[in-house]
Structure 1
Amino acid sequence: MQQAPSKAAPEDEDVRALNDLAREWVEIGWRHTSQEPFDFRGRLARFYDWSSEDTQFFDDFDTKRRVNTDVAQYAAIWDERIPSMQCLTNVTVDEPRTLVSGDLAVMSVQFVTSYTTADGVADQALTLSSLVWRRSPDGWRIIREHGSGLAAHAPSR
């Protein structure tokens, strides 16, 4: 007797889609090179919810440690800071850890950030971002973000 192929549960499909989005968000969205200069709205607009009033964003890579309640404020930080660097790239570490419940998802994603400052100082940092995504008619969008550096230097791979 032949069994019909099992269909993935909708939650599993959501987790896969969100994990793919997270890798793209980390590795492509947050990239700045001479060939691909950084512009927040141009790179990351489709990942964030720009219209909700219940958003919050924080990253300790921001030297002023600001908590932002809308994406435009958050974008302004990075549009000022990142383009002044020579380069910034990220590589995810393992799979994001994602939980989905209805139209909300929470995720932890770790990545290694490699960067070179305007002065030519190169460094790396291991980063953990905790994200809350909300499903919208346009797809999953980030409504909460908290990024923290875990170590001054990334571990050797």
Structure 2
Amino acid sequence: MTDEQLIADLHGRWVFGWERVEGDPLFDFRRVFGDFYDAESPDVRLYDDFDPEHRVAASAAEYGSIWEPVFRRTVSVRHAVVDGPHVVAGHDMAASTLIFVARVTLPDATTDIRTTTSLVWRRTRDGWRIVREHNSSQVLPAGALDGRLPAPGDAAHR
């Protein structure tokens, strides 16, 4: 497998790591994403404009502290990749971009989004790890993803 194929696979697995279905165990960022992020690098910068506070995390642990409270409240989160991943890879660094749609269901609201995600990966002794993340989301009209997401258990799901 080439580095480009490996990064593409990792980026796809990263997207579906955010999936939640009703009855899942409590979301644990470190358990789900511990092998994706570079936990040792001082160069880590992670940003997602879906965070209402628009915080930039300087570590995976800090990023997890932003998202664990949100994802622990979700009833479900379903995704579909609509473009990519597109990867460029060098010897020690790589970048990948993809676009996904998602439906985030909380107990009191459902939000459909379309997100462009860009990840920068560094080759470490443990494999490729994320050192930069930038996600830009657009909230879609209510119901925009009706019928466009795979059902839980489908091959494209998780």
Q: When the two structures are aligned, how many residues end up with a matched partner? A: 144
The residue that corresponds to 1:96 in the other structure is: 85
* 1:44 maps onto 2:33 in alignment: yes
Partner SS, residue 47 of structure 1 = coil
The residue that corresponds to 1:126 in the other structure is: 114
The residue that corresponds to 1:150 in the other structure is: 138
Amino acid at match of 1:19: A
Amino acid at match of 2:84: E
Task: Tell me, in whole angstroms, the C-alpha distance in 2 between the residues paired with 1:102 and 1:150.
Answer: 33
The residue that corresponds to 1:35 in the other structure is: 23
Deviation for aligned residue 1:118: 2.2
The residue that corresponds to 2:155 in the other structure is: none
- CA offsets 1:68-109 (integer angstroms, 9 cap, x no match): 111111100111111112111222113211111111001111
**Is the alpha carbon distance of 1:116 and 1:151 closer, same or farther for their aligned partners in structure 2, counting shifts above 3 Å?**
closer
Residues 3-152 of structure 1 mapped to structure 2, 5 A cutoff: 13-27=2-16, 29-37=17-25, 38-119=27-108, 121-152=109-140
Greater share of helix: 1
Task: Tell me, in whole angstroms, the C-alpha distance in 2 between the residues paired with 1:150 and 1:104.
Answer: 28
Q: 1:34–1:86: 8 Å Cα contact kept in structure 2?
A: yes
Partner SS, residue 78 of structure 1 = helix
- CA offsets 1:105-127 (integer angstroms, 9 cap, x no match): 011111111111221x2231110
Task: Tell me, in whole angstroms, the C-alpha distance in 2 between the residues paired with 1:41 and 1:33.
Answer: 18
Deviation for aligned residue 1:133: 0.3
Deviation for aligned residue 1:13: 0.5
Identity %: 38
Deviation for aligned residue 1:155: 6.7
Moved more, 33-42 or 54-63: 33-42
Q: Which protein is bigger by CA-based radius of gyration?
A: 1
Amino acid at match of 1:52: S
Moved over 3 A (4+): 153-157
The residue that corresponds to 1:7 in the other structure is: none
* Residue ranges of structure 1 left out of the alignment (5+ in a row): 1-11
* Residue ranges of structure 2 left out of the alignment (5+ in a row): 149-158
